[in-house]
Structure 1
Amino acid sequence: MNGAMSWPFLRLYLLVLFYFSANAILNVFIPLRGEALGATNTTIGIIMGAYLFTTMFFRPWAGQIIQKHGPLKVLRFILIFNGLALILYTITGLGGYLIARMMQGVSTAFFSMALQIGIIDALPEEDRSQGISLYSLFSYIPGIIGPLLAIGIWQGGMGYFAIVMVTIAMLTGLFGFSANVDTPKTQPMTDQAHSSGSIVQSLSQLVKNPDLCRSSAFMLVGSLIFGATTIFIPLYAVQVDKGNAGIFLMIMAATVVFARFTLRKRIPSDGKWHAPFMIGTMLLLALGSQSVSIAIYGGAFFFYIGAVLIGTAQALLYPTLTTYLSFVLPEASRNVLLGLFIAMADLGVSLGGIIMGPVADMLSYSWMYMVCAILSVAILGVVVYDRKKVVVQE
């Protein structure tokens, strides 16, 4: 095998699998633990959202630091830091969970940036979408069994939780220290790249660069819905007739894995904006959110159909937009701007908890998912506006 499926890249994908295993468990365990301790949806949303909100904050710096010091040195430090965060979960309560989530957020900012930048730099252009899709795929494989494992751990008690967290921390560290993330194109940071990558200057590109702005808008809304789904499904499932949170999240994760593997060659990798593809993806997300919303009345059938539709949209959205931006962003500042784009994905997931938690408290889980469906349709106005703009320019 060669290209995105060669052994050096498979080692990186396996490292991704180990790293994200803990989060697949925590995504279910923390809401259940929080509810048992009397926390409101708003509090649970803040704790869960703190993870990727912190990741978002550190993303723009991650690209620069990794390019300056090299991915291997950064990776080894980050894996130790992440291990400490996992151990912290085992000895604290809700307050400690918030700190641990923030520590995980810092770790993920550097971990994911190091691997994704390495994949983009090392692969030829025609294989970029496959590499990014496989990275995303392996980050979601733990989600297939993680939710059911989390429920089993919850029923078994905190002792089992501590054993699992410590084991994952050790395995991730041992496997990560033996991995090599250096790529042929990794080079020291030049003065031009440092200047072009100025964080303050680059932030303005979220508005000034139309490609980055449009892609970030789609990713923000999509990630908000993914975040709301992951965080609150464990609590909403008990209201759905024959609904099971573990099965829902397992189906969604399995759909993401299956779709990303089978459709990886169909994801555009030509540097062009494919409006019909994006419209179809967001409509899938809208239908999935609406299906989950009406599951409170229609039962488990609509509940699990929503998992399939949301999983399919999730499988397509991130690799499509990331690959597109890898072509159209300026080479000198690409790493930092990609960091900003991924930060928007992180922000969206965080807002899924921070904003949608209060919505669920004020209305209901069903209405909250209906709001998600409305948002995924409303963002399609960006595509319509872009088409009108192109016609005027022509």
Structure 2
Amino acid sequence: MRKEKIFTRDFWLIASVNLLVMTTYYSLMVTTAKFTTDQFHTSTSIAGLVIGITVIGILIARFSSGYLTQHFTTKKLLMTGTILLVPAMILYHFTTSLAILMAVRLLHGLAIGLISTVTNTAVVLLFPVERRGEGISYFSLSTVLGTAVGPFLGLKLMQTVGFSTLFNVEIGFAIAALVIATLINAEKIRFKKVQHNEPLTLAHFIEIKAMPIALLMFVVGLGYAAIQAYLSFYAGQLDLATYASYFFLAYAFAALLSRPFTGRLLDAVGAKAVVVPTLLINAVGLAGVAWTHSGWGLLVSAFLIGLGFGNFQSVAQSIVAKKVPVKRLSQATATFFIFFDLSLGIGPFLLGLIEPAVGYSNLYLLTAIMVLACAIGYWLVSHFSKQETN
């Protein structure tokens, strides 16, 4: 029997929007701290707060999007997000005070949160049910590329041509995302609306069935949060700063190679056969970061984390999509990403409280142990349940 297609016109359009938006997000994530300290002569902690403001905006948008998709068309929400993104990028040129910069970062976060929740929800509607795991794995590669291209491009532009040119490039990406969003077929990504006279409850925003895997995502994500926040400092201590700049490229390369296969495996044999190995590989990669003393060791660890965490992220999202009916898909996606964003947003702060006492090496080892415990816990729960659970 002929399989229904995954790679449709609207798939490529939505993936392109997601790639452009994620590139703006991650390129400015790695450069905003430097911009803040250079422009306003602030401390590192204040620069970290400026970065974190974006996460607050993202969380507000995530929490609201589940409700909004039931009352407004998905296309309108996507257009709203991309329209907000353009002035957010332009306003970086006019950040003459710390307060203005924080307001711009908040607006940027609102746009990112709305767009990414809508794209990750809408694209699932394009996939046949029996191929959703595979489809989500392919789509999530656009995010992986953003996490690799964004930091690399942002740092290169900052170091070679300066912040003004960097902001102009971001404006170009935002305009391109807006133009591409207008081409998406609204009917292909439309949800059935609920009755507007229903009383407003928490269920309009959060999907309880997504909570177990979302909580697992929060704990597992702490390891990657430590990588994002502290790798440059740790690599500097080891005299491996040059290799650290290529860490995320190695991570993305591993995820790009493996995600299509893990998506098919998830659809074919179920979650346990994919979740447990990806968590174990991730734990080994984090332990490798903790114990490495060479550049190649750091890059091999990056490759393992790409195979492990890079695949677990998309697999976990696929599990959420499979566990809920289509009418609850937006709330489930929002719930999943709320906890993922919380992990990446407050994770560095929580881990930063521990780091002075244990050091970076032991901090990464601690996150490896946490991920290993998650793998064992997931295996026990799924093994002793009558049916595979999330």
Q: TM-score band (shorter)?
A: 0.7 to 0.9
1:293 paired with 2:290, answer: yes
Q: 1:5 matched to which residue of 2?
A: 7
Deviates more, 1:285-294 or 1:321-330: 321-330
Question: In structure 2, do the counterparts of structure 1 residues 69 and 362 end up closer, same or farther at CA, with 3 Å as the change threshold?
Answer: same
CA offsets per residue over residues 216-241 of structure 1, 9 Å max, x none?
A: 12211222222222233233332233
Query: What secondary structure, in the 3-state scheme, does the structure 2 residue paired with 1:67 have?
Result: coil
Q: Is the 8 A contact 1:243 1:303 kept in 2?
A: no
Deviates more, 1:70-79 or 1:114-123: 114-123
Q: 1:29 matched to which residue of 2?
A: 31
CA offsets per residue over residues 95-127 of structure 1, 9 Å max, x none?
A: 544433322322222212222222222321122
Q: Is the 8 A contact 1:71 1:181 kept in 2?
A: no
Q: 1:78 matched to which residue of 2?
A: 81
The structure, 1 or 2, with the larger RCO (C-alpha pairs under 8 Å, 6+ apart) is: 1
From 338, 344, 348, the equivalent of 2:339 is 344
Q: CA deviation at 1:62?
A: 0.5
Q: Is the 8 A contact 1:68 1:188 kept in 2?
A: no
- Taking the TM superposition and a 5 Å limit, the aligned residue runs for 1:41-120 are 42-92=45-95, 95-120=99-124
Q: Distance in 2 between matches of 1:137 and 1:226?
A: 17
Question: In structure 2, do the counterparts of structure 1 residues 10 and 125 end up closer, same or farther at CA, with 3 Å as the change threshold?
Answer: same
Q: 1:252 matched to which residue of 2?
A: 251
Amino acid at match of 2:283: A
From 217, 220, 223, the equivalent of 2:221 is 223
Amino acid at match of 2:237: Q
Q: Distance in 1 between matches of 2:83 and 2:386?
A: 52
Query: What secondary structure, in the 3-state scheme, does the structure 2 residue paired with 1:19 have?
Result: helix
Question: In structure 2, do the counterparts of structure 1 residues 31 and 262 end up closer, same or farther at CA, with 3 Å as the change threshold?
Answer: farther
Compute the RMSD of aligned alpha carbons. Answer: 3.0
Q: 2:133 matched to which residue of 1?
A: 129
Q: Distance in 2 between matches of 1:238 and 1:74?
A: 43
Question: In structure 2, do the counterparts of structure 1 residues 58 and 159 end up closer, same or farther at CA, with 3 Å as the change threshold?
Answer: closer
Q: Is the 8 A contact 2:290 2:365 kept in 1?
A: yes
CA offsets per residue over residues 66-86 of structure 1, 9 Å max, x none?
A: 232112222222112112222
Question: In structure 2, do the counterparts of structure 1 residues 98 and 233 end up closer, same or farther at CA, with 3 Å as the change threshold?
Answer: farther
Q: 1:176 matched to which residue of 2?
A: 181
Question: In structure 2, do the counterparts of structure 1 residues 163 and 334 end up closer, same or farther at CA, with 3 Å as the change threshold?
Answer: closer
- Taking the TM superposition and a 5 Å limit, the aligned residue runs for 1:208-219 are 209=209, 212-219=210-217
Q: CA deviation at 1:305?
A: 1.5
Q: Could you tell me the TM-score, scaled by structure 1's length?
A: 0.84
Q: Distance in 1 between matches of 2:76 and 2:151?
A: 32
Q: How many residues align?
A: 380
Question: In structure 2, do the counterparts of structure 1 residues 25 and 334 end up closer, same or farther at CA, with 3 Å as the change threshold?
Answer: closer
Q: 1:321 matched to which residue of 2?
A: 316
Q: Distance in 1 between matches of 2:164 and 2:194?
A: 50
Question: In structure 2, do the counterparts of structure 1 residues 195 and 151 end up closer, same or farther at CA, with 3 Å as the change threshold?
Answer: same
Q: Distance in 2 between matches of 1:381 and 1:134?
A: 27
Q: Distance in 2 between matches of 1:380 and 1:139?
A: 24
Q: 1:161 matched to which residue of 2?
A: 166
Amino acid at match of 1:260: R
From 352, 360, 363, the equivalent of 1:357 is 352
Q: Is the 8 A contact 2:16 2:177 kept in 1?
A: no
| Structure 1 outlier segments of 4+, above 6 Å | none
Q: Is the 8 A contact 2:127 2:135 kept in 1?
A: yes
Q: Distance in 1 between matches of 2:43 and 2:356?
A: 12
CA offsets per residue over residues 187-245 of structure 1, 9 Å max, x none?
A: 441229x859x552467864xx4xx3331122112222222222332333322333333
Q: CA deviation at 1:44?
A: 4.5
Amino acid at match of 2:368: A
CA offsets per residue over residues 44-64 of structure 1, 9 Å max, x none?
A: 444334333432333232123
Question: In structure 2, do the counterparts of structure 1 residues 369 and 45 end up closer, same or farther at CA, with 3 Å as the change threshold?
Answer: farther
Q: Is the 8 A contact 1:66 1:110 kept in 2?
A: no
Q: Is the 8 A contact 1:214 1:382 kept in 2?
A: no
Q: Is the 8 A contact 2:64 2:205 kept in 1?
A: no
Q: CA deviation at 1:38?
A: 5.1
Unaligned runs of 5+ in 2: none
Q: 1:186 matched to which residue of 2?
A: 190
Q: Distance in 2 between matches of 1:103 and 1:369?
A: 32
Unaligned runs of 5+ in 1: none
CA offsets per residue over residues 275-313 of structure 1, 9 Å max, x none?
A: 342221111111111212223xx1212211121111112
CA offsets per residue over residues 128-178 of structure 1, 9 Å max, x none?
A: 12221222101221333333322222223223323222222332223333x
Q: Is the 8 A contact 1:12 1:181 kept in 2?
A: no
Q: Is the 8 A contact 1:48 1:231 kept in 2?
A: no
Q: Distance in 1 between matches of 2:72 and 2:154?
A: 37
Q: Is the 8 A contact 2:321 2:332 kept in 1?
A: no
Q: 1:145 matched to which residue of 2?
A: 149
Q: Is the 8 A contact 2:271 2:315 kept in 1?
A: no
Query: What secondary structure, in the 3-state scheme, does the structure 2 residue paired with 1:265 have?
Result: helix
Q: CA deviation at 1:94?
A: 5.2
Q: Is the 8 A contact 1:217 1:379 kept in 2?
A: no
Q: CA deviation at 1:332?
A: 4.4
Deviates more, 1:98-107 or 1:115-124: 98-107
